[in-house]
Amino acid sequence: MNVNEVSTRPFEGQKPGTSGLRKKVAVFRQPHYLENFVQAWFDSLDGHAGATLVLGGDGRFYNRTAAQTILRMAAANGVGRVLVGQGALLSTPAASCVIRKHRAFGGFVLSASHNPGGPDGDFGIKYNIGNGGPAPEKYTQAAFDRTTTLDRYLIVDEPDVDLDRLGETRLGDMTVEVVDPVADYAELMEALFDFEALRKLFRSGFRICFDAMHAITGPYAQAILEDRLGAPAGSVINGVPLEDFGGGHPDPNLKHAHELVEIMFGDDAPAFGAASDGDGDRNMVLGDRFFVTPSDSLAVLAANATLIPGYRKGLNGVARSMPTSGAVDRVAGELGLPCFETPTGWKFFGNLMDAGKATFCGEESFGTSSDHVREKDGLWAVLAWLNLLAERPGQSVADLVRAHWQRFGRNYYSRHDYEGLDSDAANDLMAHLRATVPGLEGMNLDGYKVRTGDDFAYTDPVDGSESLSQGVRVIFEDGSRIVYRLSGTGTEGATLRVYIERFEPNASKHGIETQDALADLIAIARGLAEIERRTGRADPTVIT
């Protein structure tokens, strides 16, 4: 095996964000850029020599090229075996599943998630550890530190591996096994959900629309929903993964999944609609003319978990990211379940799940999952909802959610994003909030009395690690909240996220339009942060 040692110099800014390193494709295509980042991982990981790694991505532009480079570098760095999804494809939850099932040492997932793809779009790479979850901060910090001093990387001089043919080949001294990207994942879903009940549901004429947004979930949804469960042909739309997602923005929210939204809010809508993102970890759930917020989705699933075979014994606990609404807290309170509040980023749930403290986790950013893997899982959430609907014949998605509000109260909730801001202006705005918010305690803001204001800090209950400065919170006496933070996943300028929440226990007031129900708090949020003066933006770019 001919290993080349290639001289290189550090690149600035290779610090992983909320979920791995995400940059414009043009940045990744610079000579040595990807190689440096990958070598930094090999240099900072202990124990990869001779071990098994998993590799796959969401199929976006540059996915195949990057996969071949990583394979050559893995061989040069002494990896024993790589399991790679056919066509270099693996959804994020499937990669987590494959790592766990095959007890791999870890894996590289190639994705910029919901960010647009194509030559002018985004690319990304993240490393997942042996539990199948995104590498926690101590790993990402070590890899980043290494990027700042790196002066060489290792790569073998070998031809491309045929990634389209299933089976084993050799690359230098390393074995490459090309695996079916869907098989292990589909088997896991069948073990968790009542597939017979779901088949019966579809036989009864139940109609769904699943929008794969030309991203990775297409083949998974097709294989599971249509082929195995018998959903009518055409239930999966935009099911063929494309390198540029068909020019779309594969983010399953009310703005970007507009084709699905038009179907679900149109005449003769199916009973259930869902969409997933670029790498298949996010989900949006809709009923006939009804949107389920991700925070409510987590709460409804937690409240009804025991209807699903895989969770019949009940949940160990639940966890949500800090900006996610407190709807699941109310379920946990009533059911006597432990409930954890973590910073934004799925990596923070890993320790809780490994320690058996949390079974269901969720985030406002359209992420929901359980401890079956260590990633959020879009199709899992869809199957969970379908399983609930199969157990509640005659009830619609809206019926289920309204009944939930009636029992637990309603957390009106919305997120306002201000995208593409000047980074300095956004950082100044956050600095202003950090300086002023703690002093608001006891003050009355347009009728809302401030109970406390802080910058969220988290101490991991399992390993004691601390994460500071995770978002500015203003919490009011009645439990209403405003949260501000900057996104850690964007690639252009800065994105300010403002999360607004108000609890309404009174069922007769559960029918108000969300933005109207939150109007007072939205005005307070804009004023406190001086958003328009500091950013020049009168309104958000995306409201979810």
Task: Provide, rounded to whole angstroms, the least separation between the CB of residue 361 and ligand G16.
Answer: 10
Task: Provide, rounded to whole angstroms, the least separation between the CB of residue 363 and ligand G16.
Answer: 4
Calpha distance 508→44 (Å, rounded): 57
Say if strands 81-89 and 52-57 run parallel, antiparallel, or are unpaired. Answer: parallel
Q: Which is nearer to ligand G16, 125 or 332 (CB)?
A: 125
Q: Which is nearer to ligand G16, 452 or 487 (CB)?
A: 487
Nearest to 134 by CA among 363, 310, 323: 363
The residues facing 502 across adjacent strands are 412
Is residue 113 part of the annotated active site? The answer reads: yes
Q: Which is nearer to ligand G16, 113 or 411 (CB)?
A: 113
Run of H or E including 289? none
Task: Provide, rounded to whole angstroms, the least separation between the CB of residue 252 and ligand G16.
Answer: 10
Q: Which is nearer to ligand G16, 117 or 270 (CB)?
A: 117
Task: Provide, rounded to whole angstroms, the least separation between the CB of residue 448 and ligand G16.
Answer: 25
**Which residue in the block uniquely carries the two structure tokens 């790679």?**
84
Name the residues that contact ligand G16, by CB under 6 A: 18-19, 113-114, 277, 281-282, 321, 344-346, 363, 365, 367, 487-489, 497
Asked whether the beta carbons of 82 and 219 are under 8 A apart, the reply is no
Asked whether the beta carbons of 287 and 396 are under 8 A apart, the reply is yes
Task: Provide, rounded to whole angstroms, the least separation between the CB of residue 364 and ligand G16.
Answer: 7
Residue 486, classed as helix, strand or coil, is strand
Calpha distance 302→334 (Å, rounded): 11
Task: Provide, rounded to whole angstroms, the least separation between the CB of residue 92 and ligand G16.
Answer: 7
Q: Which is nearer to ligand G16, 43 or 281 (CB)?
A: 281
Q: Which is nearer to ligand G16, 363 or 460 (CB)?
A: 363
Q: Which long-range contacts (CB under 8 A, 24 or more apart) does 394-399 make?
A: 396/271, 396/287, 396/288, 396/290, 397/271, 397/272, 397/285, 397/286, 397/287, 397/288, 397/290, 397/292, 398/287, 398/288, 398/289, 398/290
DSSP string, 384-453: HHHHHHHHSTT--HHHHHHHHHHHH-EEEEEEEEEEEE-HHHHHHHHHHHHHHGGGGTT-EETTEEEEEE
Say which of 44, 111, 113, 297 is annotated catalytic.
Answer: 113
| Residues with active-site annotation | 113
